[in-house]
Amino acid sequence: MKQIKRIIALLLALCLAVALCACGGKEKQDVIGKYVCIGSTGYGDSYDSDGEWIELKKGGKGTFYMDFEFDIKWKLDGENFESSVTFLGIDESLNGTLKDGVLTVQYGDFSYTFLKEGAQMPIGTDEPVAGTSEPSQDALDLDALRGDSMLDYLSALGSSFAPMVADGGFVSPTKSIELGSVWYGTVRLETADGDKDDDIFALINQNAAGNCYFEVFTNSDFTEEGLICSMWIDLYDDSFVADIGDKDAWIYEHYLTADEAFYFSPVLDNGLLYFFYPYTEDGEDMTVQIYLREDGMPWDEENDLLPPHYVEYKAAIEAAADDSEMEAQPLSDDYGLSVPSATGYVDLKILKAGLNWIRNERKSGSKTPYVEIRELFSGVDGVKYEMAWDDEMHSYLWQTSDEKEFCLVTFKVQEDGSELYTSVSWSSGLTE
């Protein structure tokens, strides 16, 4: 009898020990459900949600929606989230962390943040405040297609260049300053030896921390060797104010001071941003004048200081506008706006550049027509993609000649026969 009591006591002790261990262990996350995208970052910029979501299902299966629904396989080790996206037989990683209903994953060059339906953002994840970090070249959006030269870039714009003229004369269509906008113009450097004019491009954008900046380049691919002016700004609808600290703003090789901010705080004047800045460098008096208009917009040719290559710029814009404004081609039941003989073959460099431009435009919600997308791929027509083709949606494939790398672009068919971009997918080699 005593032996039986000892056995029962031992079993009770073991059960109690197991229960205590279970209570002291970390509770497993309930992660099954739908997670809605609340924002993303990539190439130094932040973006709002474009309707993306991820649904985690039992058994390590799920769905990732980004214009299309993709199957995913996933597993969770603590807070470490590992998954892969499958498309056309190609697997691409979708890894990150999952904690307290917040799922953060890296997909290609972009980092996405998703919030589980019904969950709230944890304390300490508020949006960053502008002006709290230092400017960096990493903040620039280098993803957009610019081509190998200025004219290559301009030929892909396709915006109308016809000036607007009212009773009072020239009227610009540019009424506000937008984040992510590109500006074209001229810089005049006045010295004792005379005046020197140069074409310039400028960016008005923000970095991943939400800090707005203004930067001016003498090249159209926005690389560091062409950077001549950089500063933080406070951006408003039709103006901005320079936010100059200690050696964090400069023009050419000259640092700016806080009391010079008013020189670089323009108000949009009939579509024009104008700067006038006199200074002394190594005992020499110098003056900089900058004229900028939104890229692709008309100029006041009678009153503006026109850029040195304005004639070529205008011709390229008008040529692109003529192409984009062509009457829609008759739709073929079999090939849409493409042609039966299309191969979609383009060089790898062109394929990558075209994809980069499309991905950048996707974030701005642009509805680019087929004819403009075709021009990104050197005027080559895409191949009809049978698996994603119906009366309302047409998909075209552009690819390398060995067919190893591809870019699949889908368009929505309009009532007038035109086709407007809706989504893009690509092979993993294009973003390596």
Kindly indicate the confidence band of residue 128, based on its pLDDT and cuts at 50, 70 and 90: very low
Give the CA distances from residue 238 to residues 173, 300, 332, 360, in Å, rounded to whole numbers and listed in that order.
13, 19, 45, 24
Kindly indicate the confidence band of residue 99, based on its pLDDT and cuts at 50, 70 and 90: confident
Encode burial over 220-244: b for 16+ CB neighbours within 10 A, e otherwise. bbbeeeebbbbbbbebeeebbbbbb
> Do 38 and 149 share a domain, yes or no?
no
The DSSP symbol for 218 reads: S
Give the residue from 379, 370, 377 showing the smallest Cα distance to 406: 377
Among residues 321, 341, 357, the one where a domain terminates is: 321
Burial class of residue 199 (count of CB atoms within 10 Å of its CB; 0-12, 13-18, 19+): buried
Among residues 321, 354, 370, the one where a domain terminates is: 321
**Number of domains present in the structure of the chain:** 3
Kindly indicate the confidence band of residue 363, based on its pLDDT and cuts at 50, 70 and 90: low
Q: Residue 373: inside a domain, yes or no?
A: yes
> Do 191 and 317 share a domain, yes or no?
yes
> Do 66 and 210 share a domain, yes or no?
no
Give the residue from 181, 204, 241, 236 showing the smallest Cα distance to 364: 181
Please write down the HEC assignment for all residues of 5-38.
HHHHHHHHHHHHHHHHHHHHCCCCCCCCEEEEEE
Q: How far apart are CA 77 and CA 31, in angstroms?
A: 12
- Tell me the mean pLDDT in the region 30-35: 90
> Do 192 and 330 share a domain, yes or no?
no
Q: Is 59 left (phi over 0), alpha (psi -120 to 50) or beta?
A: left
Give the residue from 336, 346, 371 showing the smallest Cα distance to 155: 371
Q: Residue 282: inside a domain, yes or no?
A: yes
Q: How far apart are CA 127 and CA 46, in angstroms?
A: 11
Q: How far apart are CA 419 and CA 371, in angstroms?
A: 9
Lowest mean pLDDT among 101-110, 121-130, 323-332: 121-130
Q: Which residues contact 315 (CB under 8 A, 6 or more apart)?
A: none
Q: Residue 257: inside a domain, yes or no?
A: yes
Higher pLDDT among residues 333 and 202, named by residue? 202
Give Cα 247 distance to the centre of its chain: 29
Q: How far apart are CA 153 and CA 222, in angstroms?
A: 12
Q: Which residues contact 330 (CB under 8 A, 6 or more apart)?
A: 417
Higher pLDDT among residues 5 and 228, named by residue? 228
- Residues of the chain with pLDDT > 90: what percent? 30
**CB-facing half-sphere around the CA of 53: CA atoms within 13 A:** 9
Kindly indicate the confidence band of residue 110, based on its pLDDT and cuts at 50, 70 and 90: confident
Please answer whether residues 370 and 392 qualify as being in contact, where contact means their C-beta atoms are separated by less than 8 angstroms.
no
CATH of the domain at 259: 2.40.128
- Residues of the chain with pLDDT > 70: what percent? 75
> Do 108 and 224 share a domain, yes or no?
no
pLDDT, one tens digit per residue, over 280-321 is: 988 899 999 999 999 888 899 888 999 998 888 888 777 665
> Do 176 and 252 share a domain, yes or no?
yes
Q: What is the pTM of this model?
A: 0.43
CATH of the domain at 89: 2.40.128.280
Q: Residue 227: inside a domain, yes or no?
A: yes
Q: Residue 5: inside a domain, yes or no?
A: no
> Do 167 and 251 share a domain, yes or no?
yes
Q: Residue 129: inside a domain, yes or no?
A: no
Give the CA distances from residue 102 to residues 26, 73, 84, 398, in Å, rounded to whole numbers and listed in that order.
18, 18, 18, 36
Give the residue from 273, 230, 281, 279 showing the smallest Cα distance to 259: 279
> Do 312 and 174 share a domain, yes or no?
yes
- Tell me the mean pLDDT in the region 152-165: 43
pLDDT at 37: 86
Q: Is a pLDDT exceeding 70 seen at residue 357?
A: yes
pLDDT at 286: 92
> Do 109 and 70 share a domain, yes or no?
yes
Q: How far apart are CA 147 and CA 122, in angstroms?
A: 43
Q: Residue 22: inside a domain, yes or no?
A: no
Q: Residue 124: inside a domain, yes or no?
A: no
> Do 161 and 302 share a domain, yes or no?
yes
> Do 162 and 291 share a domain, yes or no?
yes
> Do 111 and 143 share a domain, yes or no?
no
Q: Is a pLDDT exceeding 90 seen at residue 362?
A: no
Q: Which residue segment(s) compose the domain that 415 sits in?
A: 326-431
